[in-house]
């Protein structure tokens, strides 16, 4: 089959299916609400990434339209979020500091790299890779990002001015930053934490009041008026207060002037060699988007009984990322909070995203001057409220009670984000997921089967239980036999036979779950059959499907077992055993 025939080309406007005249008013209303959420949050997330505020606003125009047109999901909103912004900030700090014009160029180049990677994932239909990051890994990673972003926002709320002398804790912090950066290549979270405590005595009380007010307004309205755009209301109120009382003259930092108008075409101006240096960061962004987006798509599809192609969603993110790189915008990802808000507002198609993009465009053309007095402390309060949803304390508590091993995996991922940074933590998270997967795969469920008293069926027991039918062992191996668990299979077979209270005459392998055998499994199974034959044990196979039987024949293992030793059920196997050995059935013994 040719590559062209394998590729399922995306269907444009899939996310707009279901629009009717009846739901048009609710879609328009939801779109305006979405714009009210996008404006403050996108500005805040741009600041988290260390980029100009206009980057966040531009992300709510062309990239949002592109995602809405190409996605197959009617409900998921493609917009910048805290996790992606935190990763961007960590990546870009290695290329240019905040305020350096080169940082903007590298941000655009990173967006293009993300788009190309999304296309690769779409072309080769790799959406299934999201299944390899477990719930524990995601919980720990996202919580770590949430803690890091929250710490940064608290510092913004404090609004402390920089100390001008080199004495005291400021000098200690600077020295510690250099030592830590040299020794462990940290992204500086613990340095940021020390700087946070250092800045408390120098906090601007007006800034603290503004930031806390915005935070409290958002939290209260979320609980008592969830359909109201709380973030926008909080920013309007605090902006009016700053403008009326002249708090910008009293140390309260404000957004300042922003360029008005729509985004224009731009090309990243970085050396080609630096694109390879951006690859790990792009992989981190794409990896997190891949997992969160597909989980969100599945959740929405189940809730609304709709269908969405996960691979086409990846194509939509690729198109959106390319649009971000060419229009000076922040990279978009899956926004669970805005998706939930649109669902609550009655949106059932991507038309609400198109309305939101048009609304943001109008703001950029006519109202950017009104944003000049917007206090950065209020933005920090709004972002801090949104980031709290990333700190999954309840999820960690549930993992603690349900499965301690997964809890500790989540904790390691969380600490990896804080100690090593998001990029290294992505690698650690992936390795932990693979180690956990292989650990479980190497020791699958195994049971010894015991005949029920009436002989109608068999009951599984732990492998350390003694046989109730002398001379025969029924062993169920609960997985395909391959390199990861072959040694475990061989150990269990030998243990069951050597530790049996009575001499074993028959060993019946229940192969219902053994649907595949690789070459390592074949070698191990050959050794086990030879070992059993040397001990005078007859081997039989029960409940093997046709493909397993054909595979055994291909490996020449049926020659060791014998085709007459293949039984469709365990009852057939034990009947043959009793007939051959002359043992009586339970009913005959009872008589």
How many CB atoms neighbour CB 558 within 10 A? 17
Rg (CA), the chain: 31
Comparing CA positions, the residue from 420, 398, 83 lying closest to residue 410 is: 398
pLDDT computed for residue 167 by the predictor: 40
- In the Cβ-directed half-sphere of 556, how many Cα atoms lie within 13 Å? 3
> For residue 584, what are the CA distances in angstroms to 67, 389, 580?
71, 66, 11
414: its two tokens = 């969380």
pLDDT computed for residue 305 by the predictor: 81
Comparing CA positions, the residue from 387, 274, 355 lying closest to residue 77 is: 355
Topology of the domain covering 446-590: Transcription Regulator spoIIAA (3.30.750)
Where in the chain are all domains bearing CATH 3.30.750.24? 446-590
**Mean pLDDT lowest for which of 71-80, 182-191, 300-309, 359-368?**
182-191
- Average pLDDT of the chain is 84
Q: HEC profile for 470-490?
A: CCEEEEEECCCECCCCHHHHH
∠ CA 587-588-590, nearest 5°, is 65
The per-residue pLDDT for range 517-567, each reduced to its tens digit, is: 999 999 999 999 999 999 999 999 999 999 999 999 999 999 889 889 999
**Mean pLDDT lowest for which of 119-123, 171-175, 485-489?**
171-175
Most confident of 17-21, 463-467, 529-533: 529-533
Residue 108 pLDDT greater than 90, yes or no: yes
pLDDT computed for residue 589 by the predictor: 43
- Residue 481 pairs with which residues in a beta bridge? 517
The per-residue pLDDT for range 177-200, each reduced to its tens digit, is: 444 333 333 346 777 788 788 888
- Residue 458 pairs with which residues in a beta bridge? 451
Q: Quick one: pLDDT band at residue 585, thresholds 50, 70, 90?
A: low
Residue 222 pLDDT greater than 60, yes or no: yes
pTM of the model: 0.72
């Amino acid at each position: 089959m040719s590559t062209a025939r394998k590729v399922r080309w995306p269907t444009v406007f899939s996310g707009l299916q279901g629009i009717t005249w009846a739901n048009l008013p609710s879609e328009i209303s939801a779109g305006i609400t979405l714009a009210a959420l996008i404006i403050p949050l996108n500005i805040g997330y741009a600041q988290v990434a260390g980029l100009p505020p206009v980057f966040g606003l531009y992300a709510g125009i062309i990239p949002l339209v592109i995602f809405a047109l190409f996605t197959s999901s009617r409900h998921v909103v493609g917009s910048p979020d805290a996790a992606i912004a935190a990763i961007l900030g960590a990546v870009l700090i290695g290329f240019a500091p905040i305020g350096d014009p080169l940082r903007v160029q590298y941000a655009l180049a990173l967006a293009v790299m993300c788009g190309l990677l999304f296309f690769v994932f779409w072309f080769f239909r790799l959406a299934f890779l999201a299944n390899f990051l477990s719930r524990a890994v995601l919980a720990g990673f996202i919580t770590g990002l949430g803690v890091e972003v929250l710490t940064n926002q608290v510092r913004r709320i404090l609004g402390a001015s920089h100390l001008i002398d080199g004495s005291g804790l400021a000098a200690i912090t600077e020295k510690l930053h250099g030592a830590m950066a040299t020794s462990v290549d940290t992204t500086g979270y613990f340095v940021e934490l020390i700087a946070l405590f250092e800045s408390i005595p120098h906090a601007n009380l007006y800034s603290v009041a503004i930031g806390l007010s915005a935070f409290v307004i958002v939290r209260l309205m979320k609980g008592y008026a969830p359909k109201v755009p709380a973030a926008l209301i909080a920013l309007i109120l605090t902006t009016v207060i700053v403008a009326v009382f002249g708090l910008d003259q009293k140390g309260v930092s404000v957004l300042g002037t922003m360029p008005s108008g729509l985004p224009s075409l731009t090309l990243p101006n970085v050396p080609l060699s630096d694109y390879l240096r951006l690859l790990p960061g792009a992989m981190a962004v794409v990896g997190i988007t891949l997992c969160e987006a597909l989980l969100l798509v599945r959740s929405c599809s189940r809730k609304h009984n709709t269908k969405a192609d996960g691979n086409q969603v990846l194509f939509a993110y690729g198109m959106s990322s390319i649009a971000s790189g060419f229009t000076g915008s922040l990279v978009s990802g899956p926004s669970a909070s805005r998706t939930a808000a649109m669902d609550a507002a009655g949106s059932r198609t991507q038309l609400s995203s198109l309305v939101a993009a048009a609304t943001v465009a109008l703001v950029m053309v006519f109202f950017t001057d009104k944003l000049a007095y917007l206090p950065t402390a209020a933005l920090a309060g709004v972002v801090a409220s949104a980031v709290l949803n990333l700190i999954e304390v309840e999820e960690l508590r549930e993992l603690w009670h349900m499965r301690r091993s997964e809890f500790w995996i989540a904790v390691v991922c969380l600490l990896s984000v804080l100690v090593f940074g998001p990029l290294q933590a992505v690698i650690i998270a992936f390795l932990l997921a693979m180690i956990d997967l292989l650990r479980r795969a190497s020791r699958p469920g195994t049971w010894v089967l015991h005949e029920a008293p009436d002989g109608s069926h068999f009951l599984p027991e732990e492998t350390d239980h003694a046989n109730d039918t002398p001379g025969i062992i029924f062993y169920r191996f609960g997985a395909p036999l391959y390199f990861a668990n072959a040694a475990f299979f061989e150990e269990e077979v030998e243990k069951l036979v050597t530790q049996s209270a009575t001499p074993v005459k028959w060993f019946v392998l229940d192969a219902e779950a053994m649907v595949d055998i690789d070459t390592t499994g074949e070698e191990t199974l050959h050794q086990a059959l030879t070992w059993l034959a040397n001990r005078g044990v007859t081997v039989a196979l029960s409940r093997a499907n046709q493909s397993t039987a054909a595979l055994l024949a291909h490996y020449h293992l049926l020659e060791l077992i014998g085709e007459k030793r293949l039984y469709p059920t365990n009852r057939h196997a034990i009947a043959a055993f009793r007939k051959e050995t002359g043992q009586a059935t339970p009913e005959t013994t009872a008589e």
